[in-house]
Structure 1
């Protein structure tokens, strides 16, 4: 009886999970995020990174701090017009190779909400290095009104929020194009509507964000690196990988140290076992 009740409870739990999954999927489709007609095309383009990949990739990857600083510059001069970095403080810039004085000076170039000490009215003041990066809009209503009714997402964790995030960001930034003739022929309704832009790396192929990086030289790098579209896209993708997981490289280093310790401890345990059981002879079985 108890076993039967357990089986029924398990079946009920499985049914609820399956129902929740089906309901969630139908809701997503109903919202137009991924239509049935274009589902097979939604991810037909595999996200890819720059030629040669990123330096932080792989088990022995490390940060390229000059690239991270260039990526910060791209974010500041291009992306920050629409996107926030709510979970990153200016003091965190010291992790990119900036000194404390440089981070404080950089923070002072940004404006954050403040209070006028003379009048008590709300105003904008230069940011302190303990402040977090400010949002470009006062609220979601203003953000939607300025972006074709689409609220630009915060970029702090974007590289972790998307599958293969670093490559996804790079592919998305460099992937704007006209829809293929094959796609339009098979699905005429998939053509981007007013205020939308086609990008095969985006989930439903068309997004409200206009191409943010449009031409070579859009940013003048402080270190003199040639600012091609591909270079700027790779740099900001690396920077957003750092904002999403600043301890990425340290975690890899700690992981290798732990593996080394476990390997050494395993060898010691094996020798200890041999020593402890050296004088013990196995008993013979009697047939």
Structure 2
């Protein structure tokens, strides 16, 4: 009798546990239906990135070196004041079509130098950058720490399009309906800028690209805000995965090899078992 009684107690405890869980689930679902969470400003005003077509898109995509060089120029003249690129070395710029001499000059002339410690004097000093060095970190004097841009295109969903949208999104304003519903966004907090492509809509970075001609492209391309945004987005897609093009080529070579090996194996199978009845 005792084992039967113990089993009955176990079933009762288990049934009570399932009942409590079911009751909690029912309460949660009922509350979600009858009392939905109020819509937030971030949900109402946030926009998905715009479409951006880059030469590197897709499995057959290849980097457009001319565009990448323009994007690097935008980064160098506009973004590098605040944002580091510390996971990329100067010598990797050779992949964009720069000669060895040009890479050396870019490294040497870079505004931020490499820190070095003088053992004899016991103090820190600086030296010119070498092609083997990574882009030096930027020590920002303002509030907050601007993020490193090396992997930004990988850190954000649809990274290239996100960067392009963010750069061109400063001029977009909330709709009259949205402002009526969320009046606090009619005037962003001091030092903040409204941008519908940023997660919480307001960010401390003012519009970095302010007008046409801010950068004078070496190849003569018209430097509109839209063009500069596309170019720097393409460049940051490259910095996030500079070997993407060679990786795709290696992938195709492996696939072709596997197909060839499969054909050989099938041919060998047919030859070995030819004439053998099953």
| TM-score, length-scaled by structure 1 | 0.76
Deviates more, 1:91-100 or 1:263-272: 263-272
In structure 2, the partner of 1:258 is 254
Q: Distance in 2 between matches of 1:280 and 1:39?
A: 71
Ranges in structure 2 where 5+ consecutive residues have no aligned partner? 1-37
Q: Distance in 1 between matches of 2:74 and 2:177?
A: 35
Is residue 198 of structure 1 aligned with residue 194 of structure 2? yes
In structure 1, the partner of 2:266 is 270
3-state DSSP of counterpart to 1:122: strand
Q: Distance in 1 between matches of 2:94 and 2:119?
A: 30
Q: Is the 8 A contact 1:114 1:125 kept in 2?
A: yes
> Against the structure 1 CA distance between its residues 242 and 95, is the aligned structure 2 distance closer, same or farther, given a 3 Å change threshold?
same
Q: Distance in 1 between matches of 2:246 and 2:109?
A: 30
Could you say which structure has the larger radius of gyration?
2
Is residue 130 of structure 1 aligned with residue 96 of structure 2? no
In structure 2, the partner of 1:153 is 147
What's the CA shift for 1:203? 1.1
In structure 1, the partner of 2:106 is 106
Q: Distance in 1 between matches of 2:219 and 2:203?
A: 33
Deviates more, 1:184-193 or 1:240-249: 184-193
What's the CA shift for 1:164? 0.7
Could you report, residue by residue, the CA deviation over 1:147-185 in whole angstroms, capped at 9, with x for unpaired residues? xx3321000010111111111111111111222222222
Q: Distance in 1 between matches of 2:51 and 2:244?
A: 18
Q: Distance in 2 between matches of 1:133 and 1:232?
A: 21
Alignment of 1:209-228 (within 5 A): 209-228=205-224
What's the CA shift for 1:118? 9.5
Q: Is the 8 A contact 1:55 1:62 kept in 2?
A: yes
3-state DSSP of counterpart to 2:219: coil
In structure 2, the partner of 1:174 is 168
Q: Distance in 2 between matches of 1:254 and 1:71?
A: 26
What's the CA shift for 1:114? 3.9
Q: Is the 8 A contact 1:107 1:129 kept in 2?
A: yes
Q: Is the 8 A contact 1:49 1:168 kept in 2?
A: no
Could you report, residue by residue, the CA deviation over 1:166-211 in whole angstroms, capped at 9, with x for unpaired residues? 1111111111122222222222334521111111111111111111
Q: Is the 8 A contact 2:45 2:178 kept in 1?
A: no
> Against the structure 1 CA distance between its residues 93 and 206, is the aligned structure 2 distance closer, same or farther, given a 3 Å change threshold?
same
3-state DSSP of counterpart to 2:248: helix
Q: Distance in 2 between matches of 1:120 and 1:226?
A: 50
Q: Distance in 2 between matches of 1:262 and 1:42?
A: 49
Q: Is the 8 A contact 1:195 1:208 kept in 2?
A: yes
3-state DSSP of counterpart to 1:87: coil
In structure 2, the partner of 1:29 is none
Q: Is the 8 A contact 1:86 1:132 kept in 2?
A: yes
Count of residue pairs brought into register by the alignment: 237
Ranges in structure 1 where 5+ consecutive residues have no aligned partner? 1-34, 138-142, 283-287
Q: Is the 8 A contact 2:42 2:201 kept in 1?
A: no
3-state DSSP of counterpart to 2:275: coil
Is residue 162 of structure 1 aligned with residue 165 of structure 2? no
